[in-house]
């Protein structure tokens, strides 16, 4: 099983990556910055639908934990809504 974990560099994302690897699950991390020591990480802008579609191709599951940790200057609805929409849209496109 291949699981993509968005926000893999964050506190919760690191814990999910570690647990997945302990369980023998192929976990691929996705984050704005490369994470060290958490398994394979793909640097991705979750607000870019093309990048999201590419990184989710072939995934059996997605654990969407990606968010902006300090969203100063961003509209409140934009921070999580855009990344969630891109993740869901790319999953739907892949299944169509």
13-22 pLDDT, tens digit per residue, is 999 999 999 9
Rama region for 64: left / alpha / beta (φ>0; ψ in -120 to 50; rest): beta
C-alpha torsion sign, points 18, 19, 25, 28: negative
Q: Structural domain tally of the chain?
A: 1
Domain of residue 8, CATH code: 3.40.50.720
β-partners of residue 5 are 29, 63
pTM reported for the whole predicted model: 0.76
* DSSP H/E element including 83: helix 76-95
What is the domain range of residue 14? 2-95
On whether the CB atoms of residues 52 and 86 are closer than 8 A, the answer is yes
Of 24 and 46, the one with more pLDDT: 24
The Cβ of residue 93 has, within 10 Å, a number of other Cβ atoms equal to: 13
């Amino acid at each position: 099983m291949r699981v993509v974990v968005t926000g893999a560099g964050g506190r919760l994302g690191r814990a999910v990556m570690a647990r997945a690897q302990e369980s023998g699950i192929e976990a691929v991390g996705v984050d704005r910055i490369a994470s060290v020591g958490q398994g394979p990480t793909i640097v991705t802008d979750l607000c870019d639908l093309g990048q999201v579609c590419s990184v989710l191709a072939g995934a059996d599951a997605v654990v969407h934990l990606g968010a902006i940790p300090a969203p100063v200057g961003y509209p409140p609805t934009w921070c999580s809504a855009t990344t969630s929409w891109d993740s869901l849209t790319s999953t739907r496109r892949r299944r169509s």
